[in-house]
A and B are shown apart, each in its own frame.
Chain A
């Protein structure tokens, strides 16, 4: 009996090592790539990736082994990176990728400059870079190197119910005053002008971050977060931005739906999709996310966060929140991973991605889904790009979660005045840096 057990154990051990070794050899030989994905099985993007993997294998003979790890992908691959057993390809939004893999103390992804500038495009373009806006690609560059390869482009702004607006003779506002006036018209008619799920701090944070981007321009929120003396907060632009947010809140004109401070995601956005409120400030994923809840004939429009008189930021400065690939350091089949990235960047597949997932493809001049057509003019006329939340979410994450979120929530819910907000955020920022 004992001998049998020993034999079985030895056989299992041998089979395991042969299997594992076989997979590694296959990857090293270029016959397969291992791709750990941020999507969950069954999501439109996951289905798209599976289809791409099958087509890629048929064309190149390289098998793409996909693991759908979900949004916590970076947590899930962390131990593998630590054990130097990196997958060949991972994806996530660039903010999270850079926050985790492109830190000041360690760069854990391969630079892609050579691939982007020296590799021909899938339709014979001079380089892969020709497929993208170079300014966009450089948003997350570090020390002159580009590390991430996008396939999906997200920006944020107001998505509104066009039928509702038309019913009250309203159109997309072009200024802050017009925006307030539109919202008041709706609330006076008993319709919540704005929908907000207050339990999601990063949705609440959109308001103040965008307001600062309009009053002072991009880069200033990051500067204030990083200023250990707190003096940056004395700039009147920050107070002006707080006043803009407060004006919308329950402490001001009360333009959100009733009980928004305690609204649990996705209650408010679902109500909005069912025609119960005017607009929602969200990323371009909202049309796709609310698709199943939208009433028949729901007509969705888009306008960017309005400009303010005397503000330094304009609507030509567009937020870019990119989703795409990175090749971890130590990937066994980095060449295969690059080939796959090039493959799915083909014009037809970029269009398919946009169509299937109701999102915007990162590749220039790609197809726009109907629900996102109104975003296109703003992107086409973009003079500059900035990263979401002004880069604070990944640049100063602890400050963002522990100092900014609580005070910003209070401001958005109208619990503190703009003056109190500035005084507290300045004091808390100083205390935060003092504790480091």
Chain B
């Protein structure tokens, strides 16, 4: 027994050391830095206590733009992504011809670099030569030529691109979970006269509940941390416009600037701490809300 204990410690030690060095220490250090006014260029750090957090909670821009966008991505982006992923999974579950090819095709956007996605969708949205307005012209709606990426619609334009980029990934996970649902249960539901709608919500969803909960948590974490697509949208030559500012991009521009020389490491790190707490909170809420007995099959 003694021998096995030391064996466990020996085998766990490398992982624990790495976890401590690469996660716990930086997290604690980040909280420490968030208590200082610091530009990051010198070791001269001025202790301000919870001043950065107080400022953050009083920062109108942070709440009305940054957090609003972050929650918008979580909620609206999540709804769109999961609706599309479920819809596509349903289509694939009906075993259409070329199923494998279609699965590959749906997954492709997930492996495209976000910078390339930003460029691609910028072309699609181009008001004069873009695919979208071109399509409107073809179907006789040439008089409607919206500026899709104007400030008032920029957030939604980016969100659509984001949903396009991630739907394939969630489709793969949900689709493989749905395929695991025993066919006899679905058949018996059919025999008892249940509609497809009822089968989906009362048979399939409960049977993949654990997978669904995990993917929702994963989406929320990803949505809070999303950076590349939003930052690349403006070409990276300027700070992101309001519609492209979420917690991650705002943190970056506050710490590093982009032409606009803000360089507030302490304040930015306070945002990082808020981000960490937000992720933990989301995890706790989702696991509590979605908690139910797992169904064995």
Query: Contact residues of A with B, CB < 8 Å?
Result: 71-72, 74-75, 78, 81-82, 95-96, 99-101, 103, 105-106, 108, 198-202, 257-265, 267, 393-394, 397-398, 400-403, 405-406, 409-410, 413, 415, 428, 431-432, 434-436
**Selected contact of A397 from candidates B43, B145, B260, CB within 8 Å:** B260
A281 to B259 Cα, complex, angstroms: 18
**Selected contact of A262 from candidates B149, B254, B256, B262, CB within 8 Å:** B149
- CB contacts (< 8 Å) of B95 on chain A: these are none
**Selected contact of B239 from candidates A103, A259, A262, A405, CB within 8 Å:** A405
- CB contacts (< 8 Å) of A82 on chain B: these are 40-43
- CB contacts (< 8 Å) of B234 on chain A: these are 199-200, 264-265
- CB contacts (< 8 Å) of A401 on chain B: these are 239, 253, 260, 262
Known pairs A262-B154, A398-B262, A401-B239 / 19 extra A-B pairs, C-beta < 8 Å: A82-B40, A82-B41, A99-B261, A100-B263, A103-B39, A103-B41, A198-B150, A199-B234, A199-B241, A258-B145, A259-B126, A259-B127, A262-B150, A262-B157, A264-B125, A264-B149, A413-B151, A428-B60, A432-B61
Residue of A nearest to B44 (CB): A106
- CB contacts (< 8 Å) of A434 on chain B: these are 58
- Please name the 7 residue pairs, one residue from A and one from B, whose CB atoms are nearest each other, closest first: A259-B127, A99-B261, A262-B149, A261-B150, A262-B147, A435-B58, A264-B122
Question: Shortest Cβ distance from A195 into chain B, in angstroms?
Answer: 12
Are A402 and B61 in contact, with the CB atoms below 8 A? yes
A262 to B242 Cα, complex, angstroms: 13
Question: Shortest Cβ distance from B49 into chain A, in angstroms?
Answer: 15
- CB contacts (< 8 Å) of B150 on chain A: these are 198, 259, 261-262, 413
A105-B261 CB under 8 A given contacts A199-B149, A262-B147, A262-B150: no
17 interchain pairs, CB-CB under 8 A: A74-B261, A78-B41, A82-B40, A96-B257, A99-B257, A100-B39, A200-B235, A202-B259, A259-B150, A261-B151, A264-B122, A398-B260, A398-B264, A405-B239, A406-B242, A409-B242, A432-B61
A265, A403, A406 interface centre (most CB from chain B within 10 Å): A406
Are A397 and B257 in contact, with the CB atoms below 8 A? yes
- CB contacts (< 8 Å) of B8 on chain A: these are none
Are A108 and B128 in contact, with the CB atoms below 8 A? no
Are A81 and B152 in contact, with the CB atoms below 8 A? no
B142-182 interface bits toward A, Cβ cutoff 8 Å, 1 = contact, 0 = none = 00010111111110010000000000000000000000000
Question: Shortest Cβ distance from A148 into chain B, in angstroms?
Answer: 14
- CB contacts (< 8 Å) of A415 on chain B: these are 151-152
Are A435 and B238 in contact, with the CB atoms below 8 A? no
Q: Tell yes or no: B139 within 8 A of A by CB.
A: no
Question: Shortest Cβ distance from B292 into chain A, in angstroms?
Answer: 43
- CB contacts (< 8 Å) of A103 on chain B: these are 39, 41, 263
- CB contacts (< 8 Å) of B253 on chain A: these are 401
Query: Contact residues of B with A, CB < 8 Å?
Result: 39-44, 55, 58-61, 65, 122, 125-128, 145, 147-154, 157, 233-235, 237-239, 241-242, 253-254, 256-257, 259-264
A401 to B257 Cα, complex, angstroms: 9
A257 to B125 Cα, complex, angstroms: 15
A108 to B259 Cα, complex, angstroms: 18
Are A108 and B41 in contact, with the CB atoms below 8 A? yes
A415 to B151 Cα, complex, angstroms: 10
- CB contacts (< 8 Å) of A428 on chain B: these are 60
Are B126 and A264 in contact, with the CB atoms below 8 A? yes
Residue of B nearest to A77 (CB): B41
Residue of B nearest to A192 (CB): B128
Residue of A nearest to B59 (CB): A435
Are B55 and A435 in contact, with the CB atoms below 8 A? yes
**Selected contact of A201 from candidates B40, B153, B239, CB within 8 Å:** B239
A400-B39 CB under 8 A given contacts A199-B234, A200-B238: no
Are B127 and A96 in contact, with the CB atoms below 8 A? no
**Selected contact of B261 from candidates A95, A200, A406, CB within 8 Å:** A95
- CB contacts (< 8 Å) of A405 on chain B: these are 239, 241-242
A259-B39 CB under 8 A given contacts A200-B234, A201-B239, A405-B239: no
A432 to B149 Cα, complex, angstroms: 27
A103 to B154 Cα, complex, angstroms: 34
Residue of B nearest to A200 (CB): B238
A101 to B261 Cα, complex, angstroms: 10
Residue of B nearest to A81 (CB): B41
Question: Shortest Cβ distance from A350 into chain B, in angstroms?
Answer: 26
Question: Shortest Cβ distance from A284 into chain B, in angstroms?
Answer: 17
A412 to B148 Cα, complex, angstroms: 17
Are A436 and B262 in contact, with the CB atoms below 8 A? no
Are B40 and A78 in contact, with the CB atoms below 8 A? yes
A96 to B148 Cα, complex, angstroms: 32
- CB contacts (< 8 Å) of B152 on chain A: these are 415
A402 to B145 Cα, complex, angstroms: 30
A258 to B128 Cα, complex, angstroms: 7
Question: Shortest Cβ distance from B249 into chain A, in angstroms?
Answer: 11
Are B145 and A393 in contact, with the CB atoms below 8 A? no
A100, A103, A265, A405 interface centre (most CB from chain B within 10 Å): A100
Residue of A nearest to B130 (CB): A259
